[in-house]
Amino acid sequence: MPESTPLRLVDPEAERGDTIPLERRRSMRRRVAQHVTAVLRSDEVPEGGGRIGSMHLRDMSQTGIGAFSPRFLPLETEVTLFFPPHGSERGFDLHGKVVRCEHDEDGYDVGIQITGLPQMNVA
């Protein structure tokens, strides 16, 4: 009879679990790697150059966007993302609001809930 492997205790602190314990996505997420211009529309963001910035998109679905931002974005901040034209495709804008902003090693991991349908840019 083969010798059985002894049981061992696992330290729950040793394993890093999912940062979002309950998956709430309702649509398929796709990986993307694209820079977009973001315009923040919030009273918490000062007027002037602080409202416009760049974001690097990581993933996207029909209901939301995962992105990297070099700066903190307050929750519930309304944002418009400008997608530039690509080849024969026209550019478009998406409207959303910040639902997650967590400090990352180089900046912030941002979750944006899409609140407005794309509006086509005139080329």
Query: pLDDT of 79-113, one tens digit each?
Result: 999 988 878 888 888 999 999 999 988 899 999 99
What does the pLDDT look like over 34-48, one tens digit per residue?
Answer: 889 898 886 665 555
pTM of the model as a whole: 0.68
Q: Tell me, yes or no, whether 74 lies in a domain.
A: yes
- Does residue 24 lie within any of the structural domains? no
Percent of the chain with pLDDT over 70: 65
The whole domain housing 60 covers: 30-120
Q: What is the number of structural domains in the chain?
A: 1
Q: Is residue 8 part of a domain?
A: no
Provide the 10 A C-beta neighbour count for residue 97.
18
- Determine the average pLDDT of the residues in 17-23: 47
The Cα-based distances of 2 to 5, 100, 118 in angstroms read 9, 51, 63
Can you give the pLDDT at residue 78?
A: 93
- Return the pLDDT at 87: 84
Q: What is the pLDDT of residue 19?
A: 46
- CATH code (residue 59): 2.40.10.220
CA distance 118 to 79: 13
Structural domain contains residue 4: no
